């Protein structure tokens, strides 16, 4: 039997430096998780800031005073978001409908060949007044009195930490906030629709 030299036996029993090695192995994973958690919390905070600003603006937009000036409400939302996310790009869209049940629904049409989709030449009810059949019957804009409005704000910003880039994810993040409200009955509804057969 071959005897190991004394220094090899002593080295095998030596426990000094194990804490350093354990830290060196665990620290990168711990830091990655901690930084990812911080960045994810920042994203959740951004979503709440955006949603709160959108809800406040949407409530204001249902009143008659903002009917002809929805861009001022957009500016308020943008300013609120930029107090926290100064480099964020914030964009808006609005679609109005006559009732909540019509949100996101296609314009009605006569399905002559029973294929469950609109084909050129079939009659349809032009509910948004653009002269074309649309898969979403909503009208762009804030609508008129008593209309239902879907208000969407989209915010793009760069993440504060490079953790996601290290994981192969994009550094830019997009957040979307949506709210649906009904305009106040401040005047007569101006909804018009007509049947078109082409």
- Using pLDDT thresholds of 50, 70 and 90, give the confidence band for residue 74: confident
Tell which residue, 128, 106, 127, 131, has the closest CA to residue 116.
106
CB burial readout 18-51, b (16+ within 10 A) else e: eeeeeeeeeeeeeeeeebeeebeebbeebeebbb
* Residue 150 burial (CB count, 10 A): 20
For 142-188, what is each residue's pLDDT tens digit? Answer: 877 788 889 999 999 988 888 777 778 888 999 999 988 888 776 65
Q: How far apart are CA 146 and CA 143, in angstroms?
A: 8
For 11-67, what is each residue's pLDDT tens digit? Answer: 667 666 677 777 888 888 888 888 888 888 988 999 999 999 988 887 787 776 676
Say what the pLDDT of residue 3 is. Answer: 58
Gyration radius (Cα) of the chain, Å: 29
Tell which residue, 69, 30, 76, has the closest CA to residue 53.
76
Distance between first and last Cα of the chain: 100
pLDDT at 195 over 90: no
């Amino acid at each position: 039997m071959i005897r190991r030299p004394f220094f090899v036996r002593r080295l095998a029993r030596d426990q000094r430096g194990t804490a350093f090695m354990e830290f060196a192995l665990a620290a990168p994973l711990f830091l990655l998780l901690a930084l990812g958690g911080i960045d994810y919390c920042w994203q959740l905070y951004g979503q709440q800031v955006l949603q709160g600003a959108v809800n406040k603006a949407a409530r204001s937009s249902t009143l008659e005073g903002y009917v002809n000036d929805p861009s001022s409400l957009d500016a308020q939302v943008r300013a609120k978001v930029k107090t926290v996310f100064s480099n964020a790009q914030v964009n808006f869209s609005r679609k109005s409908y006559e009732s909540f049940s019509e949100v996101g629904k296609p314009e009605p049409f006569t399905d002559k060949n029973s294929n469950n989709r609109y084909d050129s030449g079939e009659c349809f009810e032009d509910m948004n007044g653009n002269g074309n059949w649309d898969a979403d019957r909503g009208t762009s804009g804030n609508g008129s009195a008593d209309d239902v409005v879907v208000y969407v704000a989209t915010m793009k910003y760069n993440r504060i930490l490079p953790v996601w880039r290290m994981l192969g994810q994009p550094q830019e993040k997009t957040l979307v906030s949506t709210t649906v409200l009904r305009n106040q009955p401040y005047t007569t509804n101006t909804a018009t629709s007509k049947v078109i057969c082409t």
